[in-house]
Chains A and B, each alone.
Chain A
Amino acid sequence: MFNLVYNEYFKLIRKKRMFVITLILLVLIPIFTYAQYKTAKNAMEQLGTSDWRAILQQQIVDQQNRLSSSRLAPEWKERIRLNIKQQQYYLDHDINPTAPGAPTFMREFIEGAISLFLPLLVVVLAADLVSSEHSGGTIKLLLTRPVPRWKILLSKYFALLLGISLMLLITAILGYLISGVIFGYKGWNIPVLTGFQMQKEHLITDYVHIVPQWKYLLMAFGLAWFSSIAVGTISFMASVLLRSTASSMGAMLAAVVAGSLLTQIAPNWNELRYIAFINLGLTDYLAGNPILVEGMNLPFSLAVLSVWSLIAIIIAFIAFTRRDVTT
């Protein structure tokens, strides 16, 4: 089994997919770093101060002004109201929510990337894992070895899990190293608020507590790992079912993008929450970001993702071990 996983992982690396992903990150992280730097600088210039308390105060005032506009949809009003509450909480407790430093950048990057950007990278990694063997014709050589089919598929799945882990590791390391050039490498111990809970439209702060940033980061990356694996597992199934790389990757990209669009477009459509791609933004719960679709919380999202992954992996194994190879 070790040999088989080694084989699959070797191919994954040699196919240069990981290389392409690293390249994408190498291009995007500096852009995001600069963007964040620019935003911070702009805010300072506008307010004429580098005092974060003043900035936060100003943000609250801005949002209160927006609230009074009558054209705003009720969902958005609610969201803004919750944001204000949260920022007020930071202000009252003397906590700088955007304290500069590479760890803060990593936190914001992973929070922003978890529901769309990371899933897209995972799809690139996973969607051709099996279909490429079909389109390359090598599946015929792979399946005519004295190895049962389920073992071959399992070794591919293990290789995928390793690949996703490596991808997140690369994201973390590059994010830290690159953003640190501008923001500095300190800030592991900055206190971060977590434990927000939503109940209907109320933000419940009863369980809010402070954790050091490194701890928060560990939790955030853990959740990102979980949601990436869920996306990876569903892509893996697509890669087994659809025999061409183009169609499996296309279908998965469409699904991921549609999931993130639907949350924005139709937050009132409650049944959406049972779709895996709606539940990818696990760090929102950690950060206390308002959740648009009602009835979602961390255990619920974890359960939805787990169920989808489990079904996907079962379908993948049944299809792969039973099917005739005719291409």
Chain B
Amino acid sequence: MINNQDIVLSVKGLSKTIGKREIVRDITFDVKAGEIFGFLGPNGAGKTTTIRMLVGLIRPSKGSIHIGGHDLQKDFLNAIRQVGCIVENPELYPYLTGRENLEHFARMVPDISDQRINEVVELVELTERIDDPVKTYSLGMRQRLGIAQALLGDPKLLILDEPTNGLDPAGIRELRSFIRHLANEKGISVFISSHILHEVQLMCDRVAIIHHGKIIQTSSVDQLVEQDSKVEWILEPLEQGIQILHKLSYISQIEKLDHHRVLTRMPPEKIAEVNQQMIQHQIKVTGICQYKQTLEDIFLKMTEGHQIV
């Protein structure tokens, strides 16, 4: 199993109750070194509250958070030293220049040299505008300055709350490759919250899906996506074909699209077997089309199901 040393962030039984409302309920997960971990959920699911607990802005009602082996509540300074974060928007001091902002935060951490400041500025490609006031920056530039301040202290764990909010498609793509670079080259673990699913699918190694303050599932993105996929069949005659499909237990969903086509939800490795069944019953298969299921489908399925329960 996983060595304890490889776990950068460990969350156990985390809960937060405000008044009588349970905003976060008994959340448990681990983030490993060099991993990009997605934290997925609709708005109001408790993502931001969880993130604020992870960086010590909100005190948990129950549970524990360990960062790099240090308990956040008992040993705040050593735990938070390993974290760089942007909580919600990258809000910096608008009346200071980019460099003054970085210098300001550098002074709050021991031993950050001017050279380190230049390094992170170069890393986020802000060298040309770093001496301009932040109020003149575009949102994308503020986002990059936000990442620069998060990287100043050479963190082991980067926590980003909705990092692509307000970025244009090019900016999102840039951010994605930048985060990949940080995880792969520098071994930084990245914890990303988002409500945009394909973004998480493209960026993350593993995801936790949170809904109504509870984690419904934690697994790798590949596993999640490959559990079930949609397969479209073009059959003739269609009605008999559908009857055969109904007899197969591993087909979870059958939906007639038009006179020839039917959509099924099934494990992809069973496609050949279904095809064989069709041939045995002398049904003409003129087309098989497998759709890779997106995280979106899974997510909607899960959260809908959850609401009914």
Q: How many residue pairs between the two chains, A and B, have CB atoms under 8 Å in the bound complex?
A: 76
Chain A residues within an 8 Å CB radius of B89? 137
Report whether B77 and A141 are in contact in the complex, using a CB–CB cutoff of 8 Å.
Answer: no
17 A-B contacts, Cβ less than 8 Å apart?
A: A3-B108, A6-B107, A7-B108, A11-B93, A14-B93, A14-B100, A138-B91, A140-B85, A140-B87, A141-B92, A144-B57, A144-B87, A146-B76, A146-B81, A146-B108, A324-B58, A324-B59
Given A137-B91, A141-B92, A324-B59; A146-B109 close (CB under 8 Å): yes
Report whether B107 and A136 are in contact in the complex, using a CB–CB cutoff of 8 Å.
Answer: no
Q: Does B268 contact A (CB under 8 A)?
A: no
Q: Does A38 contact B (CB under 8 A)?
A: no
Distance in angstroms from A156 CB to nearest chain B CB is 13
Q: Does A215 contact B (CB under 8 A)?
A: no
Distance in angstroms from A180 CB to nearest chain B CB is 34
Write the residues of chain B forming the contact surface with A, with a CB cutoff of 8 angstroms.
Answer: 52, 55-59, 76-78, 80-81, 83, 85, 87-89, 91-96, 100, 104-105, 107-110, 149, 153
Report whether B108 and A143 are in contact in the complex, using a CB–CB cutoff of 8 Å.
Answer: no
- Chain B binding surface SS class: loop
Report whether A7 and B104 are in contact in the complex, using a CB–CB cutoff of 8 Å.
Answer: yes
Interface band, chain A:
20 to 34
Chain B residues within an 8 Å CB radius of A137? 88-89, 91
Q: Mark A38-59, 1 if CB is under 8 A from B, else 0.
A: 0000000000000000000000
Q: Select one of A7, A140, A142, A145 contacting B88, CB under 8 A.
A: A140
Distance in angstroms from B194 CB to nearest chain A CB is 18
Distance in angstroms from A265 CB to nearest chain B CB is 41
Report whether A144 and B109 are in contact in the complex, using a CB–CB cutoff of 8 Å.
Answer: no
Q: Roughly how many angstroms separate A15 CA and B93 CA in the complex, as a whole number?
A: 9
Q: Does A318 contact B (CB under 8 A)?
A: no
Distance in angstroms from A286 CB to nearest chain B CB is 39
Query: Which residue of the partner chain A has the closest CB to B82?
Result: A146
Report whether B91 and A136 are in contact in the complex, using a CB–CB cutoff of 8 Å.
Answer: yes
Pick the 4 closest A-B CB pairs, nearest first.
A137-B91, A325-B57, A145-B108, A3-B107
Given A4-B107, A146-B77; A141-B58 close (CB under 8 Å): no
